[in-house]
Amino acid sequence: MSTSPDQQTPAAAPHERRPVVRPTRFSVNLLPEDVPEREAFTITVEYRGSGRYRIIRDELCFLGADGKWSWGYQWAGGDREPVTDSEWDDYHAGRDAWVASHQFDLETALHLAGQAAPHVRVMRTTAAQALADYVAEMEGTGCRD
C-alpha cells in the first residue's frame, strides 16, 4: 500500500512532513481598490480554526448571526471576574454561546460579510454612500472605468 506524497502519516519523520498552507484572511469591501478611503470600510473574514471563520471590523468588532456588530462577549457580571463555580459556569456557557453565534463556515461568513459591506459606516457615511460619491466624482472628471 502506498501513500501519495501529500498524505501524512503519524509515523512520518518531522523532516518529511509538508507545511500546511491555508488561506486564513479575506477582505470584503464594496469600494474599488483605487479609492483612498477604502481601507476604512473593509470587513475581514478571518479563520479561527476547526473550519470556523469570524467577521471582523475595526480589529475588535465582530458580526453576529443576527446581523449586529458586537465588541465581544459581555458577561452578566460586568467587569467583575466570576467567583463561584456557578458564576464560572454561567460565564463559560454565555461565552460559548456568543462564540457560536459569531463564527461561521467560510461560505456563510463570506455571504454575511457581503451583505454587511454596503452598510459599514465610517463617521456618518456608509460604504454604499461612499461608492456613490466616488462614482459621481469619477463621472464628473471623465475618469470612469
13 falls within a domain: no
Of 102, 132, 107, the C-alpha closest to 41 is 132
87 CB contacts (<8 Å, ≥6 apart)?
Answer: 77
Q: Give the pLDDT score at 1.
A: 47
Looking at this protein, which amino acid is placed at residue 26? F
Give a yes or no: residue 14 inside a domain.
Answer: no
Is the separation of the CB atoms in 74 and 64 below 8 Å?
no
Pairing of strands 25-28, 61-63: unpaired
- pTM assigned to the model: 0.78
Do the domain assignments include residue 64?
yes
- The owner of cell 476604512 is 40
9 within domain boundaries = no
Instruction: For 44-60, give one letter per residue: b (16+ CB within 10 A) or e.
Output: bbebeeeebbbbbbeee
Is residue 2 a part of any domain in this protein? no
**Could you tell me if residue 15 is inside a domain?**
no
Q: How far apart are CA 15 and CA 6, in angstroms?
A: 14
Domain region containing 78: 23-83+96-141
Note the pLDDT of residue 129.
93
Number of structural domains (the chain) is 1
Does a structural domain hold residue 133? yes
**Which pLDDT score, from 0 to 100, does residue 15 have?**
74
- In the DSSP assignment, the letter for residue 10 is T
Q: What are phi and psi of 136, to 5 degrees?
A: -60, -40
Q: Looking at residue 10, what is its pLDDT?
A: 60
pLDDT at residue 2, rounded to an integer: 45
Joined together, the cell numbers standing for residue 45 give: 473574514
Query: Cα–Cα distances in Å, from 101 out to 18, 87, 95, 134?
Result: 34, 21, 10, 35
Distance CA 25, CA 133 (A): 28
Give domain status of residue 131, yes or no. yes
- Tens of pLDDT along the chain (145 residues)? 444 445 555 665 667 899 988 889 999 999 999 898 899 999 999 999 999 999 999 889 999 999 999 999 998 888 899 999 999 999 999 999 999 999 999 999 999 999 999 999 999 999 999 999 888 888 876 665 5
Q: What pLDDT does 142 receive?
A: 62
β-sheet bridge partners, residue 45: 26, 55
